[in-house]
Amino acid sequence: MTSNEAKNISPVDEIKKLRLITAIKTPYLPDGRFDLRAYDHLVNLQLEQGVEGLIVGGTTGEGQLMSWDEHVMLIAHTVNCFGDRLKVIGNTGSNSTREAIHATEQGFAVGMHAALHINPYYGKTSTEGLRMHFKSVLEFGPAVIYNVPARTGQDIPTSFIEALAKDPNFAGVKECTGNKRIHGYSSQGMSVWSGNDDEAHDGRWEHGARGVISVTSNLVPGLMYDLMFGGGNIALRDSLLPLMSWLFHEPNPIPLNTALAQLGLIRPIFRLPYVPVSREKRREFVEIVEKLGLEHFKGATQIREMDDDEFHLVARY
């Protein structure tokens, strides 16, 4: 089902060069469907601040709570509206090889530039199973491999990544196990993106990371741009650490979702099993924003603590 006509087909090298990629939030309407106007607004803010690529439907974007048809639709929508200005990396990975193949094939057919592929979480598999899984999906186009053992329960071995790196569609790794691992991969010439915002500065300037696939850049894209392009900057890094720490005090994207609602950038709608952070933590976020400066939170014109009853949780959508 491959096509030679898909627009903006990216050589894998263009993916390898990206430095600042945002794992973009998916906002919702009160009935739980996508709020595309809010989404478009968020993406425009990203573009204005220099973000070069998006992960669509990542764990941050709650791909795990989407049906595949809405997931691929969101990829196609993003390509249609913004694909000429940034790289669209669809999170078409899955712990089911069938689903990963289906979504990846569809994603490239609608014009995405690259895929993000996870190892089979929860169900897990053997090394030979991993090999077959990734082989099945890498044939369709450029792929970033995602290693996050704290979510998957299974670390992708370095030797495995090193072998996979020979595949012409291998674009690099989003690595969450720390800068030491990143250092090892980048020394071998691989593109590696830090999956941990708090380690991204050091990863970039001391350990050879190509850049970051960031959650924080949903809120302060300009500051994350400076962090990746502006040269080593310990002061900037340290000023961002309280925000980054707050964003991961509960499983991501729980704090991010709450933050965007508090900033008035999205409606305060949560798809279960996500719920807002506690009132106390919302108050803490207000303080963080005020300290860092509301002007860095692009698009926001206010910051509010918000009451519990302002949030709306949806279970059926």
Which parts are annotated binding residues for pyruvate?
60, 213
Q: Which is nearer to its own copies, 235 or 315 (CB)?
A: 315
In sign, the C-alpha dihedral spanning 164, 168, 169, 174 is positive
Residues 6+ apart with CB under 8 A from 75: 56, 57, 88, 90, 92, 107, 110, 112
Assess 72 for contact with its own copies (CB under 8 A): yes
In the bound state with its own copies, the residue whose beta carbon lies nearer, of 37 and 291, is: 37
Q: Is 311 in the site for its own copies (CB under 8 A)?
A: no
Question: For its own copies, which is the closer residue by CB, 40 or 305?
Answer: 40
Minimum Å gap between C-beta 311 and its own copies is 11
Q: Please report how close the Cβ of residue 283 comes to its own copies at its closest, in angstroms.
A: 17
Q: Taking CB under 8 A as the criterion, which residues in 240-299 touch its own copies?
A: 250-251, 254, 271-275, 277-278
Of the pair 140, 170, the CB lying nearest its own copies is at 140
Q: Which residues are catalytic?
A: 146, 174
Task: For the CB of residue 148, give the shortest distance to its own copies in the complex, in Å.
Answer: 9
Question: Least CB distance from residue 250 to its own copies, whole Å?
Answer: 4
The residues in 151-170 that bind its own copies, with binding defined as CB under 8 A, are 151-154
162-221 positions binding its own copies, by CB under 8 A? none
In degrees and rounded to multiples of 5, residue 221 shows phi and psi of -60, -35
Of these, 10, 106, 147, 214, which contacts its own copies (CB under 8 A)? 106
Q: Is the peptide bond before 242 cis (omega within 30 degrees of 0)?
A: no
Q: What's the closest the beta carbon of residue 162 comes to its own copies, in angstroms?
A: 20
Q: In whole angstroms, what is the distance from residue 149 CA to residue 154 CA?
A: 5
The interface mask with its own copies, positions 38-57, x = CB under 8 A, is -xx---x-------------
Cα(267)–Cα(312) distance, rounded to whole angstroms? Answer: 9
- Residue of the chain from 13, 48, 150, 234 that contacts its own copies (CB under 8 A): 150
Site membership for its own copies, residue 101 (CB under 8 A): yes
| CA 18 – CA 210 distance, rounded (Å) | 7
Q: Is 37 in the site for its own copies (CB under 8 A)?
A: yes
Q: What is d(CA 200, CA 194) in angstroms, rounded to the nearest whole number?
A: 5
The two tokens of residue 68 are 């595949």
Element at 287 (helix H, strand E): helix 279-292
C-alpha distances (whole Å) from 146 to each of 4, 24, 195 are 27, 16, 9
State yes or no: residue 30 binds its own copies (CB under 8 A).
Answer: no
Subset of 110-139 contacting its own copies (CB under 8 A): 110-111, 120-126, 128-130, 132-133, 136
Q: How far apart, in whole angstroms, are the C-alpha atoms of residue 252 and residue 45? A: 21
Choose the stretch contacting its own copies; rule: CB under 8 A; options: 28-36, 168-176, 215-223, 286-294. 28-36
Q: Which helix (H) or strand (E) holds 90?
A: strand 87-90
Q: Which of 79, 39, 59 is nearest to 214 (CA)?
A: 59
